Amino acid sequence: MMQTTAVVVGAGHSGLAMSRRLTERSIDHVVLERGEVADSWRTLRWPSLRLLTPNWQTRLPGHDYAGDDPDGYMPAAEVVATLTRYARLISAPVRTATTVQSVRTAPEGFEIVANGDVLRARAVVLATGACILPSIPGVADAVPPSITMLTAFSYRDPGQLPDGGVLVVGASATGVQLAGEIHRSGRPVTLAVGEHVRLPRTYRSRDIFWWLESTGLLAERYDQVDDLTRARHLPSPQLTGTPEAITTDLNTLTALGIRIVGRLGRVVDGVAQFSGSLANTCALADLKMNRFLTRADQWATDTGLDDELPPPHRFAPTRVDPRTPLELDLTSGEVTTVLWATGFGPDHSWLDIPVLDRKGRIRHDGGMVTGAPGLYLLGMPVLRTRASTYIHGAGNDSEALAGHLHCFLGGRHG
Ligand SMILES: Cc1cc2nc3c(=O)[nH]c(=O)nc-3n(C[C@H](O)[C@H](O)[C@H](O)COP(=O)(O)OP(=O)(O)OC[C@H]3O[C@@H](n4cnc5c(N)ncnc54)[C@H](O)[C@@H]3O)c2cc1C
């Protein structure tokens, strides 16, 4: 049986950031990865995906973006290359092709079973990703069998779809990007829109992530956020990364010819039924966007930046056609594919420690798992701040948790 001080499960950016923090503290550890470094970006993302965060923000402990396009948006393949380089740079002790099958408590720590081998460690960091499984609503069961169903994980490009119309369900970052891409391939696209977060790509000539970071919004701590459960389950903003830095909101998609309908509620006898509250949903998203822009303007004024930036302005409200259909017959042949862009979730099914709440989520306090001293969680939305949802958030999160882990070990390790 192998013994080490700490085991990190997962070699995405979160696990690598933690590895770097443990090395800084001379804490003996190993990173167990079921695939390769950055495996989610290799196997679970579609090829045309680009980060929606700008390149300058793709920073990890001891590593800032050093390329020649700081304001661009990195394609998935470049994310893989960046993380692979980073793993090498920090000499992360990654064991690839090593699947963790169980983690349970043991005397003086934890017992980890990986590829059938048993390891003992005093601390374990779970960094297996918040977006490892597609979330598909139960209504999918009622979709007629003649319809091809895909998720963002099984989607590669429009060429794999049968001829005919496509219903994209979900209008967050994934849904709006894929609706646009599929529409450009010549297929008629209907986009079912539920609650969403509308943001412009740029505002007053700066990227929206510049504003989110500068105004301090992303630095809001988990214990200061008004409704933490809601914050942790907010849909991703309607943003895409394109070389032209275009805004991909519902008005843009409607102008392209994509049909916008309300949230998919039920499928009855092959007929998809959409919510009639699309106009209200969109008005609420517009309101929240404008509330943030007002905060941004106030911040610019307070910090004396008004003269350096173009003047404040507002974007057109989302246009909703009053004749928007409430039903779509999935047996008519008009639609041949349903693409579920309804979010993602983690997979901790291999965790043999009773730390899950009634909804199957790990109970934790800013990444310190409740009731399991020595067990840590990284890479979850709003784990410690709003930035935790994004790559650059792992810097501060891993620093705080590695510091805690170090104290937990009482300085005795190795
Ligand atoms: C479509 C999409 C777009 C995104 N775009 C952005 C963006 O633009 N900017 C941004 O900052 N963030 C973005 N994110 C959010 C986030 O940064 C990514 O999800 C990122 O991959 C999370 O990194 P991670 O290290 O926490 O998890 P992951 O990258 O998912 O890494 C987890 C690792 O754990 C491994 N693993 C899982 N289970 C086991 C096991 N049992 N044993 C061993 N290994 C295991 C996996 O193979 C994987 O390599 C996006 C997410 C998605 C889904």
Tell me how far apart the alpha carbons of residues 390 and 402 are, in angstroms, rounded to a whole number: 19
CA of 70 relative to ligand 1 center, distance in Å: 22
42-66 mean pLDDT: 96
- 278, 290 in Cβ contact below 8 A? no
Percent above pLDDT 90 for the chain: 98
Q: What's the pLDDT score for residue 411?
A: 54
CA of 201 relative to ligand 1 center, distance in Å: 23
Tell me how far apart the alpha carbons of residues 391 and 56 are, in angstroms, rounded to a whole number: 11
CA of 346 relative to ligand 1 center, distance in Å: 9
- 65, 72 in Cβ contact below 8 A? no
Tell me how far apart the alpha carbons of residues 369 and 340 are, in angstroms, rounded to a whole number: 31
CA of 399 relative to ligand 1 center, distance in Å: 19
Q: What's the pLDDT score for residue 414?
A: 39
48-65 mean pLDDT: 97
Q: Please write the tens of the pLDDT for every residue from 170-206.
A: 999 999 999 999 999 999 999 999 999 999 999 999 9
Q: Please write the tens of the pLDDT for every residue from 207-264.
A: 999 999 999 999 999 999 999 999 999 999 999 999 999 999 999 999 999 999 999 9
Q: For residue 196, give the amino acid letter.
A: H
Q: What's the pLDDT score for residue 105?
A: 97
342-358 mean pLDDT: 95
The closest residue, in CA terms, to atom 6 on ligand 1 is: 51
Residue 100, both tokens: 């963790």
Q: What's the pLDDT score for residue 1?
A: 80
What's the mean pLDDT when you consider all of the chain?
Answer: 96
**Residue 62, Cβ neighbours under 10 Å: how many?**
14
**Residue 161: band (very low, low, confident or very high) from pLDDT cuts 50, 70, 90:** very high
Q: Of 16, 30, 34, 45, which is best to mutate to test ligand 1, by the most ligand atoms within 8 angstroms of its C-beta?
A: 34
What atom of ligand 1 comes closest to residue 10's alpha carbon? 34
Measuring CA to CA, which residue among 46, 3, 139, 63 is closest to residue 398?
63
- 12, 127 in Cβ contact below 8 A? yes
Residue 327's contacts (CB-CB under 8 Å, 6 or more residues apart) are 271, 272, 273, 274
Q: Please write the tens of the pLDDT for every residue from 256-287.
A: 999 999 999 999 999 999 999 999 999 999 99
Is ligand 1 within 6 A of the CB of residue 86? no
Tell me how far apart the alpha carbons of residues 364 and 166 are, in angstroms, rounded to a whole number: 40
Residue 377, both tokens: 């969680």
With 70 as the cut, is the pLDDT of residue 412 above it? no
How many residues in total does the chain contain? 414
CA of 203 relative to ligand 1 center, distance in Å: 28
> Within 13 Å, how many C-alpha atoms sit on residue 121's CB side?
28
Tell me how far apart the alpha carbons of residues 384 and 382 are, in angstroms, rounded to a whole number: 6
Look up the pTM and report it.
Answer: 0.96
Is ligand 1 within 6 A of the CB of residue 390? yes
Q: Please write the tens of the pLDDT for every residue from 373-401.
A: 999 999 999 999 999 999 999 999 999 99
11-18 mean pLDDT: 98
